[in-house]
Structure 1
Amino acid sequence: MRPSLFAEKLQLVLKSLSISRTGLAASLNVDKSLVGRWASGAVIPSEHNISLLTRFIAERIDGFTMLDWERDLPEFTARLGLAEAPVDNAMRDWVPDALIEEATRGARRRANAYEGIWRSTRYSSDLPGRFLYDISLIRCNADGIIDFISGIEGVRYRGRAMLLQHQLFSIAADEEAVTMMFGIFNGVARQKAEVLDGLSIATLRDAGSSPFCSAVVMHRIADLTGDADADVKLFEDTVSAQNPLAPENEVPEDIRRHLATTTIPEVPGLMRMMFQSSMARGPQLDPASSG
């Protein structure tokens, strides 16, 4: 690779990760003048240093490898999440461009960490003390936007999610019932997400479509196949097979406690899902496989 081409790519890396040359040098434990020479196109990093740099990027951009350095400039730019993806004009009417661009970058970097089939656990609004299960399909579309479908029995919400910082902000609609659903979920910083939690706002299926807010814990139950049609079939089959009413005593006690503590005793009427006590996490290390 030409030193000048590497320099252009390094500048894109600095921009994408919002880090200075000095900050990068400190993170890699190299002299800042060396990073300056890389950025100016004077030299290309040694094999050891390019490996360190690649590992540093991979910790922040999922799946980044040495092979990504071989991409041409437009592809490399898109790989870092800096290329602007097409976005529905309707979204731009009510979401600021800066947030759309940030969400698009976030999706390109981290959407694959959330893709999969998920089962949500929440309290039943009709049966006190009982819990309901919903099934969701989450995937990133060709435009770099996170799409999802959520279902329980004959109900289907279809929508999109924006990944901002470590939170997923979602909006979806059920066209048949002519209603909408909104959600904010705590995300996972660097790992593949296995558990998420947050709050969902929707309407009850009563005569007045009464609004209600649910605390939700989501568990990944399957990965996607990579075939869009097969993934939708997997989602529908999972919804059909899932009893929406959780059997009594099936929901673990830690989930019960977590959902119960979202209400604020000293401030009646409010709910919260605190980040510092969030259950959102990546894969858990199996003690039997460690060492």
Structure 2
Amino acid sequence: MLVTLLAASPALSDYKDSYSRGLEAAKDGDWATVRQRMQEAIQDNPTAAPRVRLYGQRWEPYVPQFYLGLAAFKQGDCATALAQWRSSANSGVIAGVPNLKAEQDRNAAACDTRVAQQPKTDPPKTDPRPDTGTTTPTTPDGGRETPRPPPPKIEPPKTEPPKTEPPKTEPPKTEPPKAPPKPAETPLAQRVPATLLDAFRNYLGGRYADVARINPDSFSDARSRAQAYLIRAAARQIQAEIDNSATGLDAARADIRAVRAANPSLVPDPALFSPRFRSLYSATR
């Protein structure tokens, strides 16, 4: 599927993809996924920002350290939560997002209380003097007498009969058959028509008028034709909301019906399409 291939392509999928998926997981309370996605976003871009465009017209604060700390807090890991919240990358931006800052301060205070209530354990005390198990004899005048060491024990040498072991024989080693080499994967640009690939790039770049000019009926195979109708429907929906055009919204619905006719199993990927378009897609029959 083209949408899956584009989401996996390094040129089109970056930290915004991981961050968007992490936000969706946070809404569902899936904190393990939040932790994984935010770590991926930080690896690609550790610099927090007060506002970034994730896709289309969706703008969000980019604060992956805050959400990584929140996931750790929900999982009971206060040490990681406090470290992420108090990092310089997070503290410089989170102060400008009041609702997230209030939640962070409330949870950080709860973590501080937990740490303060943890009992302290002291290491066991040991006697520095070694216990020899013997007492030092004393002289009649009360002085200590130097103990005499016991005479050494002399044991007769032990003789053991020589051991004879049968020669060891090992079965011949057999190597498992080697798997045939996997065929080289065809590059994305060779698997997807160039016109369709350009349309997806224009959509991700916000050039919706260019996307609307694509002709889905020019593609001979049903899969590419369904993908073309899908990307054109998404571009028409966004442009119709910008222009407040009911005609443009009807055109987007017509493209959605054409998608279902060409490929009934095709579903918009949440990483590429906005929630508003996905809602329109589900409601259009």
TM-score, structure 1 as length reference: 0.18
* Greater radius of gyration (CA): 2
Q: Quick check: which one's strand share is greater?
A: 1
TM-score, structure 2 as length reference: 0.19
